[in-house]
Chain A
Amino acid sequence: MKISLRWIEEILGQTLNLPIKDLSDLLLQLGFEVSSAQTYRQCQGITVAEVLEISKHPNADRLQIVLVTDGQETQKVVCGAPNLVPGRKVFWAKVGASLAQGDPLREATIRGVRSPGMLCSAKELGIGEDQSGLLYLPQETKLGTALESLVRLEDIILECEITPNRPDCLCQIGIAREIAAKLNRNLPEPQLKIPDMKTLPKYNVEVQDPQGCPRYSARKIEGVRVAASPLSLQVRLIRCGIRPINNIVDITNAVLLEIGQPLHAFDADKLAGGKIVVRRAKAGEAILALDGKTYPLDPEILVIADAKKPVAIAGIMGGEETAVTAQTQNILLESAQFDRRLIRNAKKRLNLASESSYRFERGVSAWSCVSGSDRALTLILDNSQTKITAAQDVASSLPAEPPVSLITSQIEKVLGEKISAIEIEDQLKKIGVPILSQEKESLTVRNPEWRLDLSRMVDYAEEIIRLRGYETIAPQGARIRLGSASYSDDKRRWKRDLRQTLNSLGFYEAYNYGFVSEKSCRDCADRAQPVAIENPLAEDQSLLRPSLLTELLKNLQTNLSYQKKDIRLFEIGTTFHKKENGLEEKEMISAAACGNAQLPFWKSPEPRPIDFFWLKGVIERIFSQLHVNDTVWQPFHHASFHPHFSFLIEKEQAGRKTSIGVAGLIHPQISKEWNYSEPVALMELDLAALLEDAARQKKISPVPRTPAIQRDCSVWIPETVSWNEIFREIRNAGGNVLENCVVFDQYTDSNFTGKKSLSFTLTFRDPVKTLEDAAANSLRDQIIQRLNKKFQAELRKKV
């Protein structure tokens, strides 16, 4: 919303004498943010002149030499405007003139031709952005008139942000009222000259939808002369963002800007049957609107119709066919109130917004409806030839806002500051709140007619501190009883620990948008049904991610394309799935990695790339941190995953299986497509399943004080027997004294087909006494015998 400081001062009847910064601060304290301010200065040394003769510039095709006169002086001026017409009146800025910007004008020689001054477009005068041609003046303007006597150009235009609850401030008067209240100044009543309308014939208005249109005022005015508006009005409109059309339309727009009431003027002679019907549009009806486009209408849309058809889309835009034109002699002036939701809905259905709809959907008051009509009438009737010939006011009796009782103790409860009834009255009076009654500890008030946002005690509480200043409330501590901790508090800590663990393993945390394409989803996720978005921003963002891996893999590729080699990323985020009875959200922790397990170093041997066992290490580290035990790894078959190194991980507890997630390597075929040949490791774990036992207390063992004994063994064992099976037997045979068993070598030999050699170190320790060598040897033999019995394993002979 653009605010003209000069207009505000005109309404207040006094100058404010405030620097822009102070004014902006003042408005900010009232709740209106000023996003920009533009200062315009008065142009000087410019007079009205007439174009006498146009001749070609000898050295430039686009330039002309114009003979102009201001009645006293005749000169040849170089001009580049494309719209030169002999006989028209223009502004001639003479040498020494000051324009909207820059230094005083000097005599210039343009392409070899001397030019004493220049002819002005709107832009050079700071009126608008239009520099496509010269600004022409009405023909009756007297030659030699100084610009200053026609129009005052100096002003400050502030762009103000008005929150949706304050439609009353979508106009100059609204802001003037606020400033007056904050500065303790008086706001004079608008000057109106309204003829007596009681004796006038009634104009035929039929409101068929009184809910959609609670108030409709029609004024028929005859004998108007349609012409261009005076320059001062045009300047005002342009600076506030509205294009001047003609004097009638400009007046309605000026009232919209001044009082906030959207008005419409019809060509009264084009209204069929001389009547107005406010009704819902009929299916199949359409209207050619003022923007030159035809809009199909339907019964959800309120229209203003004449006896035959819609002539305006109520509250949004008038129709082209009944518009005021140069030929118009009689007009019908509309001032109405429409239902906010109806207008907003119609705006969305038609995808058509206007200055009118912007105000109607936020709310237009009965006050502005009446004052707007009166103000426009005053301006139009300013001419002796025009007269009002018919009028009508249709108003359904709207329930007025009930009085609100303000009890000081209740206000203190909300604000935390005691404010006396006397001060409350003082503050509220400043913004025109009628005080119905006042007692020692309470008062009864009603909203001012123009305020649609005051209906409860808290609304007035805000007004009181808004006018006092929010800074006048002294801060206090929150006097609240303590609540109880939540699961989310614990979860937050576990997530933080998990992040730290992954960070220490070299993973950076990633954040992705979470919108994926159907194709990438097929490539990567599990079998769950993804959730589709009705209105995606783009085709390849049409699904909510069913898995975090899709985007993490993309992140890997991006980083590879940026010549990164060792990439480890993880993300904690929500995934979405369709389920039989609705939608499901699951928080996952997922990771993707490629590159070296250890970074290249000048002292180390050849670096080794990450592989499945590295990933397994990462996962086991997480599991042990969160007490996830007894996991079962089942082979996972998916086109995107490695056929042998991919697993579904489940947890088995008391006969109940819970899925934890998937882990493995990407199928080499996939990474080959991105020209990458090293392993890519992936994991996606369900955070809720992972955290199920996180709260379990750790059991801490004392430090063993007895020495441990180690024995190395190497065995030949059938290739098909897995370490899981072997380890289980070793553990069973070793019993409690077997503290640890670490594999340190595995190989195969073509002389021993079907077998593999496994070497491992057994660590034995008795917690209470020192273990004898003989006892350790016998335990080792026991283990070997067990492996021999179970798997026909044999001790490897020493070479």
Chain B
Amino acid sequence: MVRTSTATAVVRDDGIVSITIDKGVKQLLPQAQQNLAAVLSLAEGLKTKLIIDMSGALPLDPDVRHFYADAPLSTKFTAVALVVAASPLGRMMGNVYMRVARSPIPMQLFPDVESAAAWLHAKDGHG
């Protein structure tokens, strides 16, 4: 497990890396850099999948949004599931991130971690 100032990242029992953004905290560029470094370090030597739980996250500033969008997730992960708040705002935040990121790997929005993990398990090369 890796704990940053704004998130907690773990490798789940099923081998999927998961990061949960703390509720109500503001992420600036240094915090975003910490969070990215955390998930990449947990995936070192693996080719696995990623769950990003941003259901509690506050809206991002443009520079942070672009930092996350340009992150080299495809070097370590084969698919990314975004967990967003089950609200119009939560879905809008998820959709905006997906549009800006233009990810080369499959990326989908989910209302909870269970449905996110189920989708990732169904992808090829589980674990």
Q: Do A and B come from one complex?
A: no
